[in-house]
Structure 1
């Protein structure tokens, strides 16, 4: 008999359609400090934790955000999310029919994850099973967060199914030795998105939750 699987969900771009809003928040926060970056720069940072995003933006553009004002990012993001954040299409129905253990493992802060899931009414599906990159030493693409979540919930890596929208997240799950499904159903998806996830190591890539639900049924998961 096959072992029970743990479904591990990324949050941004998987559970909630937040990536375009987060990009807008970074652009606005940087502009508020007299700095200019474009949303295409933020697209290069999807899946990273905030400290790594600052570093990556500096590497790509030479623009340095003042460390003393790092909280600006969350303040602007929170306001934008409160006004505009929506769940990804079909996720509510998917979770309502998922009769398997599940958790969230996200590069975002716990505060941001909770805010996002509360706004979109998804929190009841994950209470007590939320993990942030702030809980581990290394963020994605390192495997630390996924391994930490699996260990805390008592699952071996090979018994975990990770659903990710970013190449960094896919790389992290592959490094953790888990089954990885790529997800391109968010508003930030581009024509090259699926190929990028496959190149990062995703076993399969799905454009929406109905397709993942069908895959789960077909595989008895």
Structure 2
């Protein structure tokens, strides 16, 4: 029985990943770090600090210390101008009724709250919003999902996680939760469904209607 639905934010609730990559790449390029869209895209679902460490390793260029502080302002500007909710998500959340739900995202609390408010989805979650800022280890570690379940007073095995990234799926499975892959974002590449399934998702669904059928019949 499902007692809690846990939502990732970026690429699940909001169609933000393409905007995030554009902002991060622009800041990195201005700092002399030759990052590519593909390089950043492979890190979807990870904490920003971990992404920058990978970019530094793959490019062979040390990322300047001030880059991390400049990424969010650049991202925020794009979000305020262009961010949209994922198609069908508001209707899906309406149909959940009073079923417990929460957000568990690698993004900062400020970014999550801005994303939800900007897209009108904040009314569905209230204070049930959790960030990797609140735990020691980000995805693919289980810390964030276990923290969210504890805050919601639900046993991990009674929760299902909706994720678009392999790191999120891995974290959910490590936490003892069910994981459903979501493929509705504009950043999703061919064969991403196969990658999600290989890393533990029980299914990979193209839309919120398909997610609903999978979860509730």
Per the normalisation by structure 1, the TM-score is: 0.95
Aligned residues: 216
Q: In structure 1, what is the equivalent of residue 191 of structure 2?
A: 192
What residue ranges of structure 1 are gaps of 5+ in the alignment? none
Among 53, 56, 64, which residue is 2:54 paired with? 56
Spell out structure 1 runs of 4+ moving beyond 6 A: none
Counterpart CA distance in 2 for 1:48 and 1:11 is: 12
Counterpart of 2:32 (choices 22, 31, 34) is: 34
**Contact 2:107–2:132, Cα closer than 8 Å, also in 1:** yes
Structure 2: gaps spanning 5 or more residues = none
Distance (Å, rounded) in 2 between the aligned partners of 1:31 and 1:57: 12
TM-fit CA distance, 1:150: 0.1
Determine if contact 1:29/1:72 at 8 Å carries over to the other structure. Answer: yes
Show the counterpart of 1:123. Answer: 122
Taking the aligned partners of 1:207 and 1:125, their CA distance within structure 2 comes to 22
Aligned to 2:200: 201
More deviation in 38-47 or 131-140?
38-47
Q: How far apart are the structure 2 equivalents of 1:69 and 1:58?
A: 12
2:176 aligned counterpart, secondary structure: coil
Distance in 1 between residues matched to 2:65 and 2:92, nearest whole Å: 40
Match of 2:80 in 1: 82
Cα offset, 1:63, TM superposition: 2.6
Q: Output the aligned Cα RMSD.
A: 1.0
Q: Are the counterparts in 2 of residues 109 and 133 from structure 1 also a CA contact under 8 Å? A: yes
